[in-house]
Amino acid sequence: MRQAEDELAALREAGLLRQLQPVEEDRPPLLRINGRPVVNFASNDYLGLACDEELMEAAREATTRYGTGAGSSRLISGSLSPHLDLEEHIAEWKGVEAALSFSSGYATAVGSLGALLGKGDVIILDKLCHASLIDGARQSGACLRVYPHNNLQKLERLLADNRAKLPAEARLLVVTESVFSMDGDRAPLVEIVELTERHGALLLLDEAHAVGVLGPTGQGLAEELGLQGRITFQMGTLGKAVGSAGGYLAAERRWIDLLLNKARPFVYSTAPPPAQVAASSRGLRVIASARGRNLRERLWSNISTFSKLRGTEARSAIAPLIFGENEPALQAARSLLGAGYLAPAVRFPTVPRGSARLRITLSAAHEEEQIRSLHKNLLTLS
């Protein structure tokens, strides 16, 4: 039998071993590591809502009222009002008929793709799509086709070829992120929407890193481009800028009814705790409010400060510094940590082999001075 130690040794040898770094909370964006303050440039809590007094109060109220656990799947013991409120709010916010929430974004992707697609269907994914989308696509039993990152010619070819050979009842779905999680660049969404419409395909858009960051009310890239009404499935997580945990898919009622019947992580898993769900609802409300707009402006001012210092384009809250090999990326992360900055070295299989990187994320909670001194430290790395 293969021994676990041998596998771990091989991972270490390849610079691919992962370990947990114990941290203590401090006032965001600070953490403490071994008692020392460290500025957190690793979190996806882009607006600093994960430690927001309003969200914490919503979670406390929900716990007092409903207890800590939901008790079972919502199909078994009924649906508590925080879950229904959250979904109603998401549907209204996204301007669609309905939404379904899940325990996490991961569960949303796996559950939705598994329920919507099956054998005989085709899923076309961007090469850089998140692991949750790939896992969902694989588990669905549909045929998987991948196009090179943001390559519209290849996407169009795949759409045309598959449409031509698929029987009329088969589903053809294109899956993309709006802001890509490890690169921070955006999908050419206008063109992707036009292509899917022209070829009669469905479109699933994962707004994980765009919600709270893009769009006049923080809904994401689809809102920024005025495209919400033309996207079949709008997906997102509640664990990043929303400051809580969970995920959702928003769509027409018939699709949501189908998910509710068939999405296995929804049907066969205990509903998320009321506190988590209430905090998510409050997070979404804050994002759409005047305070949310102020936080978004702060975030964008930080993004702009950092990209000016680095001489790069301001595209999103995610800034990758590509090293290529694992060891230099790990060394850079260690030396930054020594200087008081937390930014992870992201390696295979999270990113393709040979593209190991530091993934720096900016937040509304950062002070300009923290960003300037991070930049000074980055200059000493290469």
Ligand X SMILES: *Cc1c(COP(=O)(O)O)cnc(C)c1O
Q: Catalytic residue numbers?
A: 44, 130, 177, 181, 206, 209, 240
Segment near ligand X (CB under 6 A); pick from 70-78, 104-112, 142-150, 363-371: 104-112
Give whichever of 121 and 177 is closer to ligand X, judged by the CB atom: 177
18 CB burial (10 A radius; 0-12, 13-18, 19+): exposed
104 binds ligand X (CB under 6 A): yes
Residue 309: name the closest of 359, 209, 214, 378 by CA: 378
132 binds ligand X (CB under 6 A): yes
Q: Could you say which of 41, 106, 306, 341 contacts ligand X (CB under 6 A)?
A: 106
Nearest-approach distance from CB 108 to ligand X, in angstroms: 7
Q: Where are the beta strands (DSSP E) in 95-244?
A: 98-102, 122-126, 143-147, 172-177, 202-206, 233-237
Please spell the DSSP secondary structure of 266-278, one letter per residue. Answer: HHTSPPPPHHHHH
SS3 371: helix
Segment near ligand X (CB under 6 A); pick from 13-21, 159-167, 205-213, 315-323: 205-213
Nearest-approach distance from CB 299 to ligand X, in angstroms: 17
Residue 306: name the closest of 250, 364, 345 by CA: 364
The one-letter code for the residue type at 294 is N
The one-letter code for the residue type at 295 is L
Q: How many residues bind ligand X (CB under 6 A)?
A: 14
Position of tokens 């769009």? Answer: 215
247 binds ligand X (CB under 6 A): yes
283 binds ligand X (CB under 6 A): no
Q: Could you say which of 137, 208, 343, 356 contacts ligand X (CB under 6 A)?
A: 208
239 binds ligand X (CB under 6 A): yes
Question: How far from 127 is each of 93, 154, 174, 176, CA to CA, in Å?
Answer: 30, 11, 12, 9
Give whichever of 114 and 239 is closer to ligand X, judged by the CB atom: 239
Give whichever of 89 and 359 is closer to ligand X, judged by the CB atom: 359
Strand partners, 202: 173
Nearest-approach distance from CB 64 to ligand X, in angstroms: 25
CB 266 within 8 A of CB 102: yes
The contact set with ligand X (CB under 6 A) reads 104-106, 109, 130, 132, 177, 181, 206, 208-209, 237, 239, 247
